[in-house]
Amino acid sequence: MTRKATLSPSKITTYLACPVKYRWTYIDARGKWFLRAKNYYSFGLSLHSALQRFHDSNDLGVTTTEETIASLEENWVSAGYGSPEEAAEALAEGREIVSQYLESAAVAGSEVPPLFVEKQLSLDMGDFTLVGRVDRVDELPDGTLEIIDYKSGSRFSEEELLQDVAMNSYHLLVRKLMPDRRILLTIHMLRAGERITVEQTTEQLDQFAEDVKAIGIEILDREYHEIDPLPKALCNFCDFLPLCERHEEFRESFHQLRQSHS
């Protein structure tokens, strides 16, 4: 029996940003030779790992600020930084972020123990399986579930959170696990030291599920080798730009785009 395809929020987000990038990231193995480590991925991964250990009730070795910072240092991911000095500066910022996070009232005060952290969940969507790893889910005193995600980069607005593919996917996955619970979505913006919380309606989440099904089918049925690359602003930061620049029409259009923004 053929194994059902799996799609994650990362795959869906990549496809929506650029189908050509999706091809080189997930379909065509030749793309792996162009992938480069990103310091912002390493920074986020390092922070996630440290906070995961702090919030994991089964991890008795990381329960204080000092132990969490030690965990950050021990598991620091240095890939993608331009120099040891740049990595050291980022680590210093990471220590400060962890300290501020753990000293905040939400953590130092009456925080409830998480229901689970870094849990892999899945949901059968018919033509494919939606999968996702949820950073953290808290169970509030009234039984409400709060899905919590950490962001080490850009700031989010409530509207952006309501539209976020990853958070809505996690909502679908958790709802399947506990369908009768009220569910909140929260993002911790670690650099800003802020958090925002929203609540989707059942109708909004059902519509998202339908949209994901449609996009998933499109992703699986697409003939990627027939797609011609189109220049976008994100091309400037894409690992696969050299591959797209092999297309003369793309190269000329991208050059014009760069000139118009210079």
pLDDT tens for the 262 residues of the chain, in order:
578 999 999 999 999 999 999 999 999 999 999 999 999 999 999 999 999 999 887 777 788 899 999 999 999 999 999 999 999 999 999 999 999 999 884 454 556 778 999 999 999 999 999 999 999 999 999 999 999 999 998 788 999 999 999 999 999 999 999 999 999 999 999 999 899 999 999 999 999 999 999 999 999 999 999 899 999 889 999 999 999 999 988 888 888 777 776 6
Q: Are residues 137 and 157 in the same domain?
A: yes
Decide if 27 is inside a domain.
no
Decide if 191 is inside a domain.
yes
Give the span between the Cα atoms of 188 and 102, in whole angstroms. 12
Decide if 21 is inside a domain.
no
The range of the structural domain enclosing residue 245 comes to 228-262
pLDDT at 251: 86
Handedness of CA 78, 82, 85, 86 (dihedral sign): negative
pLDDT at 248: 87
Q: Are residues 118 and 93 in the same domain?
A: no
Domain boundary among 66, 86, 108: 108
Q: Which two tokens stand for residue 233?
A: 């602003």
Q: Are residues 244 and 203 in the same domain?
A: no
- Do the beta carbons of residue 50 and residue 68 sit within 8 Å? yes
Decide if 24 is inside a domain.
no
Q: Are residues 47 and 78 in the same domain?
A: yes
Q: Are residues 95 and 67 in the same domain?
A: yes
pLDDT at 233: 86
- Do the beta carbons of residue 26 and residue 11 sit within 8 Å? yes
Q: Are residues 69 and 122 in the same domain?
A: no
pLDDT at 111: 66
pLDDT at 262: 62
Decide if 66 is inside a domain.
yes
Give the span between the Cα atoms of 51 and 71, in whole angstroms. 9
Q: Are residues 140 and 121 in the same domain?
A: yes
- The two beta strands, 6-7 and 129-139, are parallel
pLDDT at 99: 94
Decide if 180 is inside a domain.
yes
Decide if 118 is inside a domain.
yes
Decide if 23 is inside a domain.
no
Give the span between the Cα atoms of 17 and 137, in whole angstroms. 28
Measured in degrees and rounded to the nearest 5, phi and psi for residue 111 equal -70, 140
Residue with tokens 């593919």: 165
User: Which residues are CB-neighbours of 45 under 8 A, at least 6 positions away?
Assistant: 77
Q: Are residues 88 and 139 in the same domain?
A: no
- Do the beta carbons of residue 25 and residue 12 sit within 8 Å? no
- Do the beta carbons of residue 46 and residue 72 sit within 8 Å? yes
Domain boundary among 77, 108, 139: 108
Q: Are residues 120 and 178 in the same domain?
A: yes
Q: Are residues 133 and 82 in the same domain?
A: no
Q: Are residues 61 and 154 in the same domain?
A: no
pLDDT at 2: 72
Domain boundary among 72, 90, 108: 108
User: By three-state DSSP, how is residue 23 classified?
Assistant: helix
Helix, strand, coil shares, percent, the chain, to 5: 55, 15, 30
Q: Are residues 118 and 183 in the same domain?
A: yes
Q: Give the number of domains in the chain.
A: 3
